[in-house]
Amino acid sequence: MARRMTKASVLLYLLTASILCSPAIGGDTVTPNRPLVDDGETGLISAGGSFELGFFSPVGSTNRYIGIWYHRIPIQTVVWVANRQRPVTGRSGKLSLETDGALVITDGKNSTVIWSSGPLALGNPVARLLDNGNFVVEEEGSDDDPRSFAWQSFDFLTDTLLPSMKIGWNLTSGLNRNLTAWRSVSDPAPSEYGTGFDVHGIPQIFLWSGSRRYWRGGSWNGRQFSGIQEMKTDNVFDMVFVGDAREIVYSFYMRESSVVSRLVISQSGMLQRLVWIEESEMWSVFWFAPNDHCDNMLSPCGPYGVCYPNESPKCKCLQGFHPKNPRSWDLRDGTDGCVRNTALDCRNGTDGFITLSSVKIPHTSTSMVDRSMSLEECEALCRRNCSCKAYASANISGSESSSGCIIWTTELTDIKMYDSGSGQDIYVRLAAADLGTFDQFSW
Ligand SMILES: *[C@@H]1O[C@H](CO)[C@@H](O)[C@H](O)[C@H]1NC(C)=O
Ligand SMILES: *[C@@H]1O[C@H](CO)[C@@H](O)[C@H](O)[C@H]1NC(C)=O
Ligand SMILES: *[C@@H]1O[C@H](CO)[C@@H](O)[C@H](O)[C@H]1NC(C)=O
Ligand SMILES: *[C@@H]1O[C@H](CO)[C@@H](O)[C@H](O)[C@H]1NC(C)=O
Ligand SMILES: *[C@@H]1O[C@H](CO)[C@@H](O)[C@H](O)[C@H]1NC(C)=O
Ligand SMILES: *[C@@H]1O[C@H](CO)[C@@H](O)[C@H](O)[C@H]1NC(C)=O
Ligand 4 closest atom vs CA 348: 1
Q: How far is the CA of 93 from the centre of ligand 4 (A)?
A: 78
Pairing of strands 204-209, 424-430: unpaired
pLDDT band, very low/low/confident/very high, at 25 (cuts 50, 70, 90): very low
**Separation between Cα atoms, residue 337 and residue 443, nearest integer Å:** 12
State whether CATH 3.40.50.300 applies to domain 23-156: no
Question: Which is more confidently placed, 229 or 9?
Answer: 229
CA-proximal residue: ligand 2, atom 4 (nearest): 173
How many CB atoms sit inside 10 A of residue 166's CB? 19
Q: How far is the CA of 133 from the centre of ligand 2 (A)?
A: 20
Q: How far is the CA of 117 from the centre of ligand 1 (A)?
A: 20
What is the reported pLDDT for 301?
A: 96
**Separation between Cα atoms, residue 14 and residue 440, nearest integer Å:** 79
Question: Does residue 8 register a pLDDT over 90?
Answer: no
Helix (H) or strand (E) holding 273: strand 271-277
Question: Does residue 13 register a pLDDT over 70?
Answer: no
Given a contact cutoff of 8 angstroms between Cβ atoms, the answer to whether 255 and 240 are in contact is no
Question: Which is more confidently placed, 423 or 95?
Answer: 95
Which protein residues are within 6 Å of ligand 4, measured from CB? 345, 348
pLDDT digits (tens, 9 = 90+) for 413-433: 999 999 867 889 999 999 999
Q: How far is the CA of 367 from the centre of ligand 3 (A)?
A: 24
Q: What is the mean pLDDT of residues 192-203?
A: 96
Q: How far is the CA of 87 from the centre of ligand 1 (A)?
A: 11
Q: Percent of the chain, pLDDT > 90? A: 79
Rounded to 5 degrees, φ, ψ at 6 are -85, 170
Query: Torsion-angle region of residue 145: left (phi > 0), alpha (psi -120 to 50) or beta?
Result: beta
- Ligand 2 pocket test: which of 137, 151, 166, 170 has the largest number of ligand atoms within 8 Å of its C-beta? 170
Question: Does residue 1 register a pLDDT over 80?
Answer: no
**Separation between Cα atoms, residue 267 and residue 42, nearest integer Å:** 29
Among all ligands shown, which has an atom nearest to the Cα of 397? Answer: 6
What is the reported pLDDT for 296?
A: 83
What is the reported pLDDT for 437?
A: 61
pLDDT digits (tens, 9 = 90+) for 206-217: 999 999 999 999
Question: Does residue 2 register a pLDDT over 50?
Answer: no
- State the chain's mean pLDDT as an integer: 90
What is the reported pLDDT for 435?
A: 92
Ligand 2 closest atom vs CA 166: 14
118's CB contacts (< 8 A; 6+ apart) are 102, 151
Closest C-alpha to 363, from 301, 311, 313, 419: 301
What is the reported pLDDT for 18?
A: 39
Q: How far is the CA of 347 from the centre of ligand 4 (A)?
A: 8
What is the reported pLDDT for 233?
A: 53
User: Looking at the domain 303-434, which fold is it?
Assistant: Hepatocyte Growth Factor (3.50.4)
3-state secondary structure of 363: coil
pLDDT digits (tens, 9 = 90+) for 293-304: 899 888 999 999
Question: Does residue 81 register a pLDDT over 70?
Answer: yes
What is the reported pLDDT for 145?
A: 83
pLDDT band, very low/low/confident/very high, at 5 (cuts 50, 70, 90): very low
Q: How far is the CA of 166 from the centre of ligand 1 (A)?
A: 36
**Separation between Cα atoms, residue 235 and residue 104, nearest integer Å:** 41
- Ligand 3 pocket test: which of 155, 176, 193 has the largest number of ligand atoms within 8 Å of its C-beta? 176
**Separation between Cα atoms, residue 278 and residue 167, nearest integer Å:** 27
Question: Which is more confidently placed, 323 or 440?
Answer: 323
Question: Does residue 174 register a pLDDT over 50?
Answer: yes
Question: Does residue 191 register a pLDDT over 60?
Answer: yes
The answer to whether the CB of 172 is under 6 A from ligand 2 is: yes
Question: Does residue 10 register a pLDDT over 50?
Answer: no
Question: Does residue 307 register a pLDDT over 50?
Answer: yes
Question: Does residue 147 register a pLDDT over 60?
Answer: yes
| Bridge partner residues of 284 (DSSP) | 275
53's CB contacts (< 8 A; 6+ apart) are 36, 43, 44, 66, 67, 68, 129, 135
Given a contact cutoff of 8 angstroms between Cβ atoms, the answer to whether 346 and 386 are in contact is yes
CA-proximal residue: ligand 2, atom 14 (nearest): 170
What is the reported pLDDT for 236?
A: 84
Closest C-alpha to 227, from 427, 419, 414: 414
Q: Which CATH class is domain 157-291?
A: mainly beta
Ligand 4 closest atom vs CA 343: 13
Which protein residues are within 6 Å of ligand 3, measured from CB? 176, 178, 194, 196, 208
Q: Is the preceding omega at residue 290 within 30 degrees of 0, hence cis?
A: yes
**Within 98-182, where are the H helices?**
none
CA-proximal residue: ligand 2, atom 10 (nearest): 170
Domain ranges of the chain: 23-156, 157-291, 303-434
Which protein residues are within 6 Å of ligand 5, measured from CB? 368, 385, 387, 407, 409
Q: Percent of the chain, pLDDT > 70? A: 91
Which protein residues are within 6 Å of ligand 1, measured from CB? 89-90, 107, 109-110, 112
Among all ligands shown, which has an atom nearest to the Cα of 174? Answer: 2
Q: Calculate the CA 297 to chain-centre distance.
A: 19
Given a contact cutoff of 8 angstroms between Cβ atoms, the answer to whether 392 and 406 are in contact is yes
**Same topology between domain 23-156 and domain 157-291:** yes
DSSP letter at 362?
A: P
CA-proximal residue: ligand 1, atom 11 (nearest): 112
Ligand 6 closest atom vs CA 371: 14
pLDDT digits (tens, 9 = 90+) for 325-364: 999 999 999 999 999 999 999 989 999 999 999 999 999 9
What is the reported pLDDT for 234?
A: 62
Rounded to 5 degrees, φ, ψ at 120 are -125, 180
